Structure 1
Amino acid sequence: MEYDPLLLLVLAGLGVIAGWINTLAGGGSNLTLPMLMVLGLPPDVANATNRVGVVLQGAVAVRGFHHHGKLDTGNVWAILLPTLIGGAIGAITAALLPNVTLKPLLLGTILTMTLVILIRPNFIAPPAGTPVKSPSESRSAWLGLFVAGIYGGFVQAGVGFILLAALAGGLRYDLVRANALKMVCTLAFTSVALVIFISFGQVRWIPGLVLAVGTMIGSHLSVKFAINAKQSTIKWFLFAMTLVACAAAFIT
């Protein structure tokens, strides 16, 4: 299949924006998925191909947060377990079913987070010194991570909001560390999903790698911003992105 070079350039540019958004909040795939379909990819193939950019973006972000000492490794495996189980379930489901089934979940989660940020801002942005919980201490957080894995494995777009609800809201991480762990989870279950999609022959490598160049650049820049930004700045950026994601989900 031949691709329009100009459209590939636009895809890379959108990848930069998506990588920046995904690292700080979520919803960047609402930009890249439609662009992949503009290139001529069917929805299921676009959904699978999008994961190439997400995986490489996640690798850059995790390395960046770890380099700056913002990645809490103590609970990583306990946090990864439910997301990996959910991610495998979601990816297999996505490979076999139309990728519209979980849209109500996305909308419900984003709308809930928007209200929570307005009404109870300390829930999603815990004050400094708030004790962190492990997943074994919070069943709701464990369930949230499992649901995030299913949703992320299925369709990806907006999964960052579900992960942040579990990590910042449920486990009480500050937003910088929650974003670092969010990217670890995203990298893990998206890698599982990508392997499944490759086995089903649904990944197109040229647009996938072009997109990845953009997402990696965006993620690198976003980590640098997150390390130096105030938590309140990240919180309101997250709020703005929930509104944008709501509008995008209603439109699409």
Structure 2
Amino acid sequence: MDYSIFTVSLLIGTGFIAGIINTLAGGGSNLTLPALMVMGMPADIANATNRVGVVLQNLAATIGFKKAKKIDSQDILPVMIPSLLGGVVGAFAASYAPETWLKPLLLSAMIGMTIIMIVKPAMIAPPEGTIPFKVSEKPSAWCALFVAGVYGGFVQAGVGFILIAALAGSLRYDLVRTNALKMVCTLGFTVLALAVFIWNDQVLWVPGLILACGTMCGAHVAVKLAIKANPNHLKWFLFVMTVCGSAAAMLSN
């Protein structure tokens, strides 16, 4: 494995940008996966190694949102249970499914989210003052979170958009709290997914930890931006990232 100044800088730089993108929207793995594959990793090894940076990024973001009091403790367990169950299913699927499944799944998710953003933007950006539902009040939200977990466990790239659709669309959280809970859910099922990949000896730790240095710094910066940002600016950032994610998925396909 090549650990030249170029490749290390590439991993840290893309990790930093991806940490910001993943915290405020989603799709940062569209940057980090190609960066890992530039080092010569096959898609399945890059997919597994990428989870190291994702876990530490989400840990940093969760701590930041918690300190800012943007995560209500009573909301964590209800949204995590279905996403964790889905994450286990998705991780096992990723370990044994053909690599050719990854790109079509990513493309479908990105295009679907882009269509939602264009046709019904209020679905992922509830009006200010909207009171969120509990998971127990919306069975459809449980299913949406489970599907998000399956997707995240399987491919990771773009899972933030799926979680935003579930948390803001089904449960009607505002975008800041949606992003905070999104990071908690992603942390939970990515830890489980990473455990499966470790069991199958698919994780390369050195590049994964180098990448994590960048993603953690990016997440730290993004939490501060999310708390201070105008909700409309967050919505437009999410839209731009969704379109970019769709374009990246189509080009990679």
TM-score by length of 1: 0.96
Q: Quick one: structure 1 residues 102 and 148, their matched pair in 2 at CA, closer, same or farther if it must change by over 3 Å?
A: farther
In structure 2, stretches of 5+ residues that fail to align are none
Paired position in structure 2 for 1:41: 41
2:40 and 2:143 map into 1 onto residues whose CA distance is 37
C-alpha displacement of 1:172: 0.3
Q: Distance in 2 between matches of 1:2 and 1:17?
A: 22
1:244 equivalenced with 2:236 (yes/no): no
Kept in 2: contact 1:44–1:98 (CA 8 A)? no
CA distance in 1, matches of 2:12, 2:84: 28
- Note if contact 1:4-1:39 (Cα within 8 Å) is conserved in structure 2: no
Tell me how far 1:82 sits from its aligned partner: 0.7
Which of structure 1's runs of 4+ aligned residues deviate more than 6 A? none
Distance 2:24 2:192 in 1: 22
Please give the residue correspondences for 1:80-99 in structure 2 after superposition, counting only pairs within 5 Å.
Answer: 80-99=80-99
Name 1:221's counterpart in structure 2. 221
Secondary structure of the equivalent of 1:75?
helix
| Distance change (3 Å), C-alpha of 1:100 and 1:76 | farther
Q: Secondary structure at the match of 1:7?
A: helix
Q: Deviations over 1:85-111 (max 9, x none)?
A: 110111111111224425444433433
Q: Which residue is 1:73 aligned to?
A: 73
Q: Which residue of 2 aligns with 1:167?
A: 167
Partner of 2:9: 9
Tell me which moved more, 95-104 or 228-237.
95-104
2-structure distance, mates of 1:214, 1:186: 18
Seen in structure 2, the aligned counterparts of structure 1 residues 106 and 43 have a Cα distance that, compared at 3 Å, is closer
Gap regions ≥5 residues in structure 1: none
- Deviation, 1:157, is 0.2
5 Å matches for 1:25-64?
25-64=25-64
CA distance in 2, matches of 1:248, 1:124: 21
**% identity of equivalent residues:** 58
Partner of 1:118: 118
Q: Distance in 2 between matches of 1:2 and 1:124?
A: 41
How much does 1:158 deviate? 0.2
Report what 1:24 is aligned to: 24
The residue type paired with residue 128 of structure 2 is: A
8 A contact 1:15–1:213 mirrored in 2: yes
Letter in 2 for 1:249: A
Amino acid at match of 1:205: W
Q: Which moved more, 1:172-181 or 1:118-127?
A: 118-127
What letter corresponds to residue 183 of structure 1 in structure 2?
M
Output the CA distance in 2 between the equivalents of 1:57 and 1:186.
10
Tell me what 1:147 maps to: 147
Counterpart Cα distance in 2 of 1:117 and 1:158 = 14
The answer as to whether partners of 1:87 and 1:149 remain within 8 angstroms in 2 is yes
Query: How many Å separate the matches in 1 of 2:107 and 2:47?
Result: 18
Q: TM-score, length-normalised on structure 2? A: 0.95
